[in-house]
Amino acid sequence: MTYQQIADALGYSNKGNAWRAIESCREAVRRAAGAELVASEASLLDDQFVAAMEILERDHVVVSHGKIVKDDAGTPLPDDGVKLAALREMREIRHSYRKLFGIDQPTQVAVSGSVRYEVVGVDPEDLT
């Protein structure tokens, strides 16, 4: 159907109003789809954060060549590397949350001033 036919069929005063109504419906569909995508991504990030938290909360021991490394008293050495890796992942997940919800403000860089070059030890007449 043409926009004029749609206007006539639905009672819009002209084809421009029919076009605006259709565009409004399209935008509503895009917003709804976007909201569903954001919710889906947020749910995935939630699951990843929980998994990283579980890793963080567990105790880990150093393993070398398939064997647990122990101190002189026979106590297994703790492996903090795994916990630090989990913390890094959690930080990245939080960064993804902020990007997903547009929380972070854009970075602005201000440049001002000027640069002055001075040639030392050269006669300016020799440069021409």
Q: Is residue 84 part of a domain?
A: yes
Q: Name 61's bridge partners.
A: 78
pTM: 0.60
- Residues 52-84 as b/e (b if ≥16 CB within 10 A, e otherwise) read beeebeeebeeeeeeeeeeeeeeeeeeeeebbe
Does 33 reside within a domain? yes
115 lies in a domain? no
Q: Binning pLDDT at 50, 70 and 90, where does residue 54 land? A: very high
47 within a domain of the structure (yes/no): yes
The verdict on residue 26 lying in a domain is yes
Give long-range contacts, CB 8 A cutoff, 24+ apart: 85-90: 85/55, 86/52, 86/53, 86/55, 86/56, 87/56, 89/48, 89/52, 90/49, 90/52, 90/53, 90/56
Domain for residue 60, yes or no? yes
Residue 128 has what pLDDT? 66
> Is residue 117 assigned to a domain?
no
In which domain, by residue range, is 22 found? 3-103
Number of structural domains found in the chain: 1
Q: What is the pLDDT of residues 110-124, one digit of tens each?
A: 777 787 777 677 777
Does any domain span residue 121? Answer: no
